[in-house]
Amino acid sequence: MTTHRLDRVSPVWRRSATIIADHGEGVYLYDTDGRRYMDFTSGIGVTNTGHAHPRVVQAIQDQAAKILHAQVNIVYHEPLLQLTEELSRIMPAESLDTFFFSNSGAEAVEGAVKLAKAATGKTNIIVFQGSFHGRTHATMAMTTSKTIYRGGYQPLIPGIFVAPFPNAYAYGWDEDQAIDFAIRELKRLLVMQTAPHETAAMVIEPVLGEGGYVPAPDRFLRELRQICDENDILLIADEVQSGFGRAGKWFAIEHSGVTPDIVIMAKGLASGMPLSGIAANHALMEKWTPGSHGGTYGGNAVACAASVATIQVLRDEGLIENSARLGELLMDELRRIQADHPEIGDVRGRGLMVATEFTTPDSQPWSERAKAVAGACLDQGLMLLTCGPYGQVIRWIPPLVVTEEQLREAIGIFEKALA
């Protein structure tokens, strides 16, 4: 390996480590020198079934031997149809019964926004402060988790309006205060900037991801649903990072009992094969002019086969339950550690989507500390990512196949790194 080889890779890809991955198995990732890491990044919330789950690998191999590319504008294929069946069983509501597939999270967000515009005949979209929806041109305009994602590219597409997210810890308020403020400001936005008759949809991450791993409170989501209903606005849940068991349920929005009009999926959907999708009611999908949206690769046969196997593994191995149970254990342990480490200002999360937020003694975001702790963990073979606008949050996203023993080992490494 020479520096020259790495130089041929575009530096636009920021990287949290200089490891060259060779192979993975379960929670472990091995580099080309044979060093083993506990991968608690899950490739940014993708490998929920662990690296190279045998059933997912087998499904990919079997499908690859049959047909790689059965283009969906030309033919149907069996994995696509199987996937729609599997998905319809796990959606937050029976009404979410029709599916469209593409390749990346951002592409699925684009699709959801286009569907909302097409179905309502309205132009504007409301997003929430701190959200991350992707890095294409439209999704950049919807992303407010950090200026780096839009800096140098502005002005962006018009028609996107940003409402506050009820981030109680960031505001220094209690949850009810944060919810009341966010709802009040949202209502004012509909009066002052984008009227209901021009607002097609609101897009919300049920757990803010890149923005700092902040669960949207249930009451907030319920009130959003009500405001959308009263104003004929669609509610879209971006479950790209929080879906497929990550937050202790198939979809994070289930915690609130709210049924969105559109669900956006990617990441955990296919264990690492590039696949994303959106779900909506058939009547809504029928309002989308055939041919006005699509793509060459969306609904790829191998990716769909991987996704079918992924859903079956998540179900058969009880991984949603594992996420819920171990998520509680993780938060309990982190709160225990927090008692001796006041720089951990907040521990929060849902399922195995957990944040430890670092705060200076004078209550400022402490990104250097978060980065140093994550670096010290990496030196000890534990891969963790940061997030949040300042990079002040260490996020815990282990594969959902993680065992209690492995989780406790990782917590031990984290505790030593803090010291």
Phi, psi of 195, rounded to the nearest 5 degrees? -70, 150
Considering beta carbons, is residue 42 or 359 the nearer one to ligand PLP? 42
Query: Position 338: which residue type?
Result: Q
Considering beta carbons, is residue 105 or 166 the nearer one to ligand PLP? 105
The answer to whether 373 touches 262, Cβ cutoff 8 Å, is: no
Please work out the total of residues on this chain that contact ligand PLP, with binding judged by CB under 6 A: 15
Considering beta carbons, is residue 138 or 308 the nearer one to ligand PLP? 138
Establish if 266 lies at the interface with ligand PLP (CB under 6 A): yes
Considering beta carbons, is residue 266 or 393 the nearer one to ligand PLP? 266
CB of 199 to ligand PLP, least distance (A): 20
Q: What is the DSSP letter of 269?
A: G
The residues, any chain, with a CB within 8 Å of residue 19's CB and separated by 6 or more, are: 29, 31, 35, 37
Alpha carbons 315 and 327: distance in angstroms, whole number: 17
Alpha carbons 152 and 366: distance in angstroms, whole number: 26
CB of 134 to ligand PLP, least distance (A): 4
Site residues for ligand PLP, window 312-331 (CB under 6 A)? none
The answer to whether 277 touches 108, Cβ cutoff 8 Å, is: yes
Considering beta carbons, is residue 383 or 417 the nearer one to ligand PLP? 383
Establish if 132 lies at the interface with ligand PLP (CB under 6 A): yes
β-pairing verdict for 262-265 and 234-238: parallel
CB of 214 to ligand PLP, least distance (A): 12
**Which residue has the CB atom at the shortest distance from ligand PLP?**
105
Judge if the upstream peptide bond of residue 164 is cis by omega within 30 degrees of 0: no
Site residues for ligand PLP, window 147-206 (CB under 6 A)? 205
Site residues for ligand PLP, window 341-370 (CB under 6 A)? none
Please identify, among the stretches 8-16, 68-76, 128-136, 170-178, the one whose residues bind ligand PLP according to the rule CB under 6 A.
128-136
CB of 46 to ligand PLP, least distance (A): 9
- Containing H/E element for 39? strand 36-39
Q: What is the DSSP letter of 104?
A: S
Considering beta carbons, is residue 306 or 411 the nearer one to ligand PLP? 306
CB of 417 to ligand PLP, least distance (A): 25
Considering beta carbons, is residue 98 or 242 the nearer one to ligand PLP? 242
CB of 121 to ligand PLP, least distance (A): 25
Site residues for ligand PLP, window 208-237 (CB under 6 A)? 209-210
Alpha carbons 109 and 95: distance in angstroms, whole number: 20
Query: Position 69: which residue type?
Result: H
Establish if 133 lies at the interface with ligand PLP (CB under 6 A): yes
Residue length, the chain?
419
Please identify, among the stretches 25-33, 51-59, 127-135, 229-237, the one whose residues bind ligand PLP according to the rule CB under 6 A.
127-135
Establish if 42 lies at the interface with ligand PLP (CB under 6 A): no
CB of 135 to ligand PLP, least distance (A): 7
Considering beta carbons, is residue 238 or 261 the nearer one to ligand PLP? 238
The answer to whether 386 touches 374, Cβ cutoff 8 Å, is: yes
CB of 345 to ligand PLP, least distance (A): 23
The answer to whether 201 touches 235, Cβ cutoff 8 Å, is: yes
Alpha carbons 29 and 37: distance in angstroms, whole number: 5
Angstrom CA distances, 275 to 103, 140, 228, 303, 399, stand at: 4, 20, 29, 6, 18
CB of 228 to ligand PLP, least distance (A): 19
Alpha carbons 150 and 57: distance in angstroms, whole number: 37
CB of 204 to ligand PLP, least distance (A): 10
Considering beta carbons, is residue 132 or 161 the nearer one to ligand PLP? 132
Nearest to 221 by CA among 239, 205, 201, 243: 205
Helix (H, G, I), strand (E, B), or coil: what is residue 71?
coil
Angstrom CA distances, 65 to 154, 271, 373, stand at: 45, 19, 45
Site string for ligand PLP, 90-109 (x = CB under 6 A): --------------xxx--x
CB of 264 to ligand PLP, least distance (A): 7
The answer to whether 63 touches 310, Cβ cutoff 8 Å, is: no
Return residues touching ligand PLP (CB under 6 A). Answer: 44, 104-106, 109, 132-134, 205, 209-210, 238, 240-241, 266
